[in-house]
Amino acid sequence: MRLADTQSYNAAMLVDVEGKSTVLDSKLVAARWYLGELSGEEMPGIACQALELGYDGKNLRRLAGLTSPAIRDITEIVDAALRELGVQAPITKRDAALWMAKRVAGEIIEGRTEPYDGACRIGLLYSIEETDLQHWSVLVGNYEVAAATGEIEKSKRDILEAARSLRNDAGFGAAVVRFQKFLRANSYPERILWVMPEDVLVTGKRFVYVRNPIPAINEVKAGRMYEEGVAEGRGLLMSTVCRVNASTYCYIWFPRSVKEVPQGIWPDDGSLKLAAKDKSSSFAGRPIRGRVLWALLKFWHRKNQELKVLLFSG
């Protein structure tokens, strides 16, 4: 396996560029921190970067002011700072490894990473924490044996298929692609942010408050909900909550019992229904940054939250 490749990967940038704006990839920061890929000395610089990009919080500011701290001295500060970045920290090494492996699998599928290099990364860095990934080491070994005989095309296909399986491109990933096309056709932004009921506050008016930034773990939760809904076999729904700027806030729902199956047009064959609120029923979304303000709004609008079940259902 190519250790040098994994080391260069660890030095990768922690920001994404969307259009003309640069945003911190808080999911990537969290996953690498809990996997031990980031040192204590690196975290103040990342906190400074977050502050420069408009994030804020007392723990972020405290972390940014430290000089070459040891990991053992900043564990609680980093947990709190990551929560200020929208991550439900701390997260387990298993969840972090699985998220990182899926990220690499996506790079393989999109052709941004060579199959063998990506397989090495997953097999060497992440299968230790997640036993379901251990077969990636076998894929690496098979590739190396095939390379010695000049017959690597089948091994490349095997790695690509494993990447698609890991990303659930035959399931959740493909469903998301369908949903994005559906959103575009209905004049919604294609950029999806998955929200859970706890990320939204119903106001009783034509707008809702949404947590900002959205917790990084939501994408993983949405994938698991999709898989659970498929397993239940009573049909699933992907639908919209609201839109904010260039993003559509969406949710996944499925009936957990026969009694919950909606009447009318519903995929009773267990398949997926796509939906988007029209102008007459859509909500405006108002992003809220800051835990204190969120707590106050939650208290002020506590009587309206019973309506949330209508927003997150079929």
User: Which of 244, 266, 243, 242 lies closest to 253, judged by CA?
Assistant: 266
pLDDT digits (tens, 9 = 90+) for 65-105: 999 899 999 999 999 999 988 787 888 888 888 888 988 98
**Mean pLDDT computed over 254-274:** 80
**Mean pLDDT computed over 22-50:** 88
pLDDT at 106: 83
pLDDT at 1: 45
On the question of pLDDT at 293 being above 50, the answer is: yes
List the structure tokens of 26. Answer: 């808080």
On the question of pLDDT at 304 being above 70, the answer is: yes
pTM: 0.54
pLDDT at 122: 94
Which of 135-149, 222-236, 300-314 ranks highest by mean pLDDT? 135-149
